C-alpha cells in the first residue's frame, strides 16, 4: 500500500463519485478505479458499494479506513511541518554558557529577542567561566558561549560583540567613594578581590597588567569565582575590585561604582573588557545558526551603543 493509494481512496470516499474524484486528483477515471480495486484486493475487503459504474457508497470497512486515513495523513502533515521547522531552527534545544558579567547587560536582551522569534526552542543556560566554557564546548556540553577572550583553543569560532571599560567597585564607606572618578594610583595600597586566574586568564591578566602600568601589582586578599560574590564581599568591606562597567546594573547596598580617571597617561588608559560569542565550527545546528543570527542582528541594531561593536 502506498501513500498515493490512501489519497486516491480519500478523494473517492469524499466525492462518492469516481469522475469527480478523478477530476479532483487530475487523473483519468479508469486508472483511479483500477487503483481503488488494487487497494481493495490488497486489504481483502470491499471499500465501496458500487451503486452505478461511477457513483459509489462507503462500506463499513471503508468508513473505518477513512477515519484511520484521516489520522495517518494528519500525522504525516504534522511530521512534515515539524521536520521543516526543525530544519529552520524553530524547534529543538540550545545549551548556552555564559559568564556572570553578561547577565547584567547584553545576554537578557538577546535571549528575549530569540524567544520572541523562536518560542518553541528550549534554552538551557549554564553559568560558566571562560575557561569552563572552553572545556564545555570541547566536550559538547554546551553549543555556544558568551565569554571574555583570549581563548586557549584557537580552533573555536569566535565573534566579538561587546567592549566596555573597567570601573572601580568599592564600599560606600570607603574614603574614595565620594570622588567623581578615581585615579588608579590611589588603589596601590588597597586590598583587591579577584577571581582565580585559571578561570578567566584573559580578563585577569588585563586587570593585573593595567595595575602594573601604574607601578603596582594588585594585592589580592580574597578570591571569588562569580562577579556577584565579588560584589557581595565588597559590600562586607572585604576589599575593592576592578569590574566590567555593565556590573553597575547589579545594585547592592553598601557598594558604589566609580569610573577611573581619564586624565592619565595613555599607557594607563583603562583597558576595554571584550565579550565574544564562541562555538565549535564543526557543530552548527539549525537552532545555533538562528541564534547566531539573532546575536548579530542585535549587535547591528545597537551598533551606536558606545559599548557594542
**Residue ranges of domains in the chain:** 3-87, 89-309
Residue that the C-alpha cell 490488497 belongs to:
42
Is 218 a residue whose pLDDT tops 80? yes
Work out the number of other CB atoms within 10 angstroms of the CB of residue 183: 16
Q: Which helix (H) or strand (E) holds 222?
A: strand 219-223
Residue pair 24/15 in contact by the 8 Å Cβ criterion: yes
Q: What is the pLDDT of residue 263?
A: 43
- Classify each residue of 90-109 as buried b or exposed e, where b means 16 or more C-beta atoms within 10 Å of its C-beta: bbbebbbbbbbbbbbbbbee
Q: What is the pLDDT of residues 135-162, one digit of tens each?
A: 999 999 999 999 998 888 889 999 999 8
Give the Cα separation of 54 and 52 in Å (integer): 5
Q: Which set of grid coordinates corresponds to residue 169?
A: 567597585
Strands 219-223 and 56-58: unpaired
Confidence of residue 284 (pLDDT cuts 50, 70, 90): confident
Question: Does this chain's domain 3-87 share its CATH topology with 89-309?
Answer: no
Length of the chain: 309
Q: Which three cell numbers stand for residue 157?
A: 569560532
What would the pLDDT profile of 21-72 be if each residue is shown by its tens digit? Answer: 899 989 998 898 888 898 888 889 998 988 776 778 899 898 898 898 888 8
Mapping DSSP to helix (H, G, I), strand (E, B) and coil, where does residue 242 land?
A: strand
- Residue 262 pLDDT grade (very low, low, confident, very high; cuts 50, 70, 90): low
Assigned fold of 3-87: Arc Repressor Mutant, subunit A (1.10.10)
> Could you confirm whether domain 89-309 is CATH 3.40.190.290?
yes
Q: Which of 155, 154, 138, 137 is nearest to 146 (CA)?
A: 137
Backbone angles phi, psi at 161, to 5 degrees: -130, -15
**What angle separates helix 29-43 from helix 3-15, to the nearest 10 degrees?**
110
Summarised one tens digit per residue, pLDDT across range 17-32 is 888 989 998 999 889 8
The rounded mean pLDDT for the chain is 87
Residues 6+ apart with CB under 8 A from 19: 29, 54
- 121-127 and 92-98 strand pairing: parallel
Comparing CA positions, the residue from 102, 103, 105, 122 lying closest to residue 114 is 122
- Predicted TM-score (pTM) of this structure: 0.67
> 145 forms bridges with which residues in the sheet?
97, 278
Buried b (16+ CB within 10 A) or exposed e, 278-297: bbbeeeebbbbebbbebbee
Phi-psi region of 44 (alpha: psi -120 to 50; beta: other; left: phi over 0): left
pLDDT for the residue numbered 84: 74
Amino acid at each position: 500500500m502506498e501513500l498515493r493509494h490512501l489519497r486516491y481512496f480519500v478523494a473517492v470516499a469524499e466525492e462518492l463519485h469516481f469522475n469527480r474524484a478523478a477530476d479532483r486528483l487530475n487523473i483519468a477515471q479508469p486508472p483511479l478505479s483500477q487503483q481503488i480495486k488494487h487497494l481493495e484486493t490488497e486489504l481483502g475487503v470491499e471499500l465501496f458499494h458500487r451503486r452505478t459504474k461511477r457513483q459509489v457508497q462507503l462500506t463499513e470497512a471503508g468508513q473505518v479506513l477513512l477515519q484511520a486515513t484521516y489520522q495517518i495523513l494528519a500525522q504525516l502533515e504534522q511530521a512534515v511541518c515539524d521536520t521543516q521547522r526543525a530544519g529552520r531552527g524553530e524547534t529543538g534545544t540550545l545549551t548556552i554558557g555564559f559568564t556572570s558579567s553578561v547577565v547584567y547587560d547584553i545576554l537578557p536582551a538577546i535571549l528575549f529577542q530569540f524567544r520572541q522569534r523562536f518560542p518553541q526552542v528550549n534554552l538551557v543556560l549554564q553559568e560558566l567561566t571562560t575557561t569552563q566554557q572552553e572545556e564545555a564546548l570541547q566536550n559538547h556540553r554546551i553549543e555556544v558561549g558568551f565569554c571574555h577572550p583570549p581563548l586557549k583553543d584557537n580552533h573555536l569560532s569566535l565573534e566579538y560583540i561587546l567592549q566596555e571599560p573597567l570601573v572601580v567597585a568599592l564600599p560606600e564607606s570607603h574614603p574614595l567613594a565620594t570622588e567623581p572618578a578615581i585615579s588608579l594610583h590611589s588603589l596601590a595600597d588597597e586590598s583587591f578581590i579577584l577571581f582565580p586566574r585559571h578561570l578567566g586568564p584573559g580578563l585577569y591578566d588585563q586587570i593585573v597588567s593595567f595595575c602594573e602600568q601604574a607601578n603596582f601589582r594588585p594585592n589580592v586578599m580574597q578570591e571569588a569565582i562569580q562577579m556577584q560574590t565579588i560584589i557581595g564581599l565588597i559590600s562586607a568591606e572585604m576589599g575593592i575590585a576592578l569590574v566590567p562597567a555593565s556590573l553597575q546594573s547589579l545594585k547592592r547596598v553598601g557598594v558604589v561604582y566609580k569610573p577611573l580617571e581619564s586624565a592619565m597617561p595613555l599607557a594607563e588608559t583603562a583597558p576595554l573588557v571584550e565579550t565574544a560569542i564562541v562555538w565549535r565550527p564543526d557543530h552548527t545546528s539549525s537552532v545555533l545558526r538562528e541564534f547566531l543570527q539573532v546575536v548579530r542582528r542585535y549587535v547591528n541594531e545597537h551598533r551606536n551603543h558606545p559599548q557594542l561593536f
